[in-house]
Amino acid sequence: MRMRWEKLGRRRSRPVRLQLATQGAGPLLQRDYWCVIRNCRYSPRQIVATVRRHFPVFAPAELVVFRPPSTEGLSLGDVVDLRIAGAGPAQVRVIHVSEQSFTLATMSGHPEAGRITFGAYRNLRGDVVFHIRSRARSNSPFRRAGFVAAGEVMQTLTWSDFVNRVAVAFGEGVVGFVHAETSPCDEEPPDLARNAPTYLAV
């Protein structure tokens, strides 16, 4: 599926702000996608640094295409253009960066309201885990209906594929399978949702 970008620039005539989860509709959900990387050849810090630098190549282009503002990789404060299959153009902002994780937050107009963290760490056995965790809800009742109908499946496919691509790039694939879990979560203070990761990768 090819995604068109011709009208993307025209949409930027008004300021675009963060779209916090408190501004959305429906339940606030935490979604986790993670795996243990088989025979990982890199440290968690090396993995996160490389994923930040080459972020678009890990996303399945038939589902979502990312266009960072620089070819040097994602940096704190960057606004990233993206196009979601079936939903059109949107934006996210990099709101948190550490040595082992980084976090993107949705901006006004995105189908969801919330944020998502990408990180890597070692489990108790010393295996390297790559883990994506989002905390978000739909941005409106209309979007909520569409998400229940088709968006949830597409989102699971997108981030599960992302995790799998990371595992193949930095090791010998996934140990077992990519885990995908969804659960309701408590509301968060706006200041936390505006600046903090969804989890700390250490």
Per-residue tens of pLDDT for the chain, all 202 residues:
344 443 444 344 445 799 999 888 889 999 999 999 999 999 999 999 999 999 999 999 999 999 999 999 999 999 999 999 988 899 999 999 999 999 999 999 999 999 999 999 999 999 999 999 999 999 876 554 454 545 678 899 999 999 999 999 999 999 999 999 999 999 988 888 899 999 999 9
* CA torsion angle 34 199 185 143 (round to 10): -70
Largest CA distance in the chain: 51
Q: What is the Cα–Cα distance from 169 to 50, expressed in whole angstroms?
A: 10
Q: Which ranges in 29-88 belong to alpha helices (H)? A: 44-53
- The structure's pTM equals 0.89
Identify the burial level of 106 via C-beta atoms within 10 angstroms of its C-beta, where 0-12 means exposed, 13-18 middle and 19 or more buried. buried
Identify the burial level of 70 via C-beta atoms within 10 angstroms of its C-beta, where 0-12 means exposed, 13-18 middle and 19 or more buried. exposed
CB within 8 A of 7, min separation 6: which ones? 89
Alpha carbon of residue 26 to chain centroid? 19
CATH topology for 20-195 is Alpha-D-Glucose-1,6-Bisphosphate; Chain A, domain 4 (3.30.530)
Cβ atoms of residues 58 and 169 within 8 Å? yes
